[in-house]
Amino acid sequence: MKLIWTYLKAYKKESVLAPLFKMLEAMFELFVPLVVAQIIDRGIGQQETGYIMKMCMLLVGLAIVGLASSITAQYFAAKAAVGCVTGLRHHLFAHIQTLTFSDMDTVGTSTLITRMTSDINQIQNGVNLVLRLFLRSPIIVFGAMIMAFTIDIRAALIFVVTIPVLAIVIFGIILGTRPMYRNVQAGLDKVLEITRQNLTGVRVIRAFNKQDAEVKSFKTANESLNRMQKFVGKISGLMNPLTYIIINVAIIVLLWTGAVQVDTGKLTQGQVIALYNYMSQILIELIKLANFVIAVTKMLACANRVETIFAIQPDMTEGNISYEEAEQSSPSLEEPYAVEFRHVGLRYKGAGEESLSDISFAVKKGQTVGIIGGTGSGKSSLVHLIPRFYDATSGDVLIYGKNVKDFTRKSLRQRVGIVMQKALLFQGSIRENMQWGKKDANDAEIMEALRISQAKEFVDKKDGHLDSYVDQGGKNLSGGQRQRLTIARAVVKQPDILILDDSASALDYATDAALRKSIREMKNSPTVFIVSQRAASLMYADQIIVLDDGVVSGIGTHDELLAQCEVYQEIYYSQFPKKEVANA
């Protein structure tokens, strides 16, 4: 509740006015049975048509004022609820952006999506109901009982007995179902996770003909969620019949005792009708109160789940050195090391073993470094340490002699361009996608980046050129086109360090060679890291790092490694048979 109040404080006026207008509506509603009693006893009983008309006009007036109060209350409640969750959603999204890759791996994408959507919507509904009903329902319930006492004390005792019994039934069911609703929400997380995986991996699933297995997996999770929802629904469903039974028994007793008192002249017919109306109002409001409490229970559960995300503090501390300061203060050598790894080790959260162990090498400014190794050898893990997507758990990663942990992440990532393994583009034009790399990039800079990445040729052939539309994820482009555009997006900001993480796998050898040549000829001469499975892509690198199960198996030029490193020989000769090499 503290979390919700933090964001609701900005809407104090609305949070006060909404329940006050609802209270005003409730007070006018409590007068209606008394007016009806007067119409029956005096107007109908004494056949005073004028009095009936006057009282009917009073009822219309009460209805109009009540409706106006209700609409006003709804307006302020909606404004406060929507405003509250808007601020919460903004801050939650901003907090998620601060989480490290390790945090994201631990929490899971499906969980974060559920928190941002379903959970926050439940909070919005709960806040809306709280502002509208937390004063109205108690005032109607206890106000009706008090009004009953003003009519007849004996009849009002029925209210005194009925209200606690109803409260026990309602709140007993609510307390019993509260933990069940948490399990339902967890089941929803599981269904959402499977759905997300199926949608993102639909091509792979179809390629391996795993549709039936995935349908079965989804069906199992969905049926489990269905069973939980049905079970909790059955228990919650007891609320209405039980409350109606209790209320109807109370009404029967009320009419019975009322009829006896009408016969003895202690009560009038209008007063009995008023008591009946008050009992009906209590029933309606208690049902509303039950739904209100269920909504509040869900709201608090969802708020706790959102709070667990806020409780995750990024394990990556922010440095205070800018990239430019480090570059200017580097040792005054002819060729200072742009990047250096000193006995670096990396262990992912929850992992039993290190993914990288005792990695040491140094790279001079402007050099090209190739990183090669088998699947799972730690190639991507290594390059992800440079822009601090992950922090080394042992050893030091240095740029211009400064530990990357001492850099401000913004300045570091502005000067490091990285192209991930998965070529991801955003919905919009080609120009807009390029401006993710550099916000103020002009068309000339974009076209130069496209030329370097070998994407200019196919972009020029498109009708809209830079204004050509790109579907979400770049689904209207081929794999090679997507990769070239993502490379252009990294190149457009003229990075000091450029990392290509197996980002040319969909390119043919000629295009790959032209791409590497264009990168070497870039005016700012970036330090380039190329992660690749292709030995041909790395042959002309200044140095090649060979990884084997997270350990450096060899470092050197192509010729040196081919003569000395068994792992490199195995990779190279698997792609270039010895006979072809000899002929060459």
Reduce the secondary structure of 170-230 to three states and give it as a string. HHHHHHHHHHHHHHHHHHHHHHHHHHHHHHHCHHHHHHCCCHHHHHHHHHHHHHHHHHHHH
Domain check: are 291 and 424 in the same one? Answer: no
| 578: confidence class by pLDDT, cuts 50, 70, 90 | low
Domain check: are 377 and 289 in the same one? Answer: no
Domain check: are 528 and 439 in the same one? Answer: yes
Q: Amino acid identity, residue 229? A: Q
Domain check: are 293 and 379 in the same one? Answer: no
> CA-to-CA distance for 276 and 524, rounded, in angstroms?
87
Structural domain that includes position 143? 2-311
Domain check: are 9 and 87 in the same one? Answer: yes
243 close to 166: Cβ distance less than 8 angstroms: yes
Q: Given a cut of 70, is residue 351 above it in pLDDT? A: yes
452 close to 518: Cβ distance less than 8 angstroms: yes
In a domain, 99, yes or no: yes
453 close to 482: Cβ distance less than 8 angstroms: no
Q: Given a cut of 70, is residue 1 above it in pLDDT? A: no
> What digits encode the pLDDT tens for the residues 16-43?
888 888 888 888 888 888 888 888 877 7
Domain check: are 66 and 165 in the same one? Answer: yes
> What digits encode the pLDDT tens for the residues 123-144?
888 888 888 877 787 788 888 8
Domains of the chain: total: 2
For residue 329, the model assigns a pLDDT of 67
> What digits encode the pLDDT tens for the residues 279-323?
777 777 777 777 777 778 778 888 888 888 888 887 777 778 777
In a domain, 565, yes or no: yes
> In CATH, what number is assigned to the domain containing residue 504?
3.40.50.300
81 close to 127: Cβ distance less than 8 angstroms: yes
The length of the chain is 584
> What digits encode the pLDDT tens for the residues 367-423?
889 998 888 888 888 989 988 888 888 888 888 888 888 888 888 888 888 888 888
In a domain, 534, yes or no: yes
β-strands 527-531, 497-501 pairing: parallel
- Predicted TM-score (pTM) of the model is 0.70
In a domain, 198, yes or no: yes
Q: Given a cut of 80, is residue 2 above it in pLDDT? A: no
DSSP summary character for residue 437: T
Residue ending a domain, among 288, 311, 334, is 311
Q: Which of 64-78, 205-219, 307-321 has the lowest mean pLDDT?
A: 307-321
Q: Given a cut of 50, is residue 584 above it in pLDDT? A: no
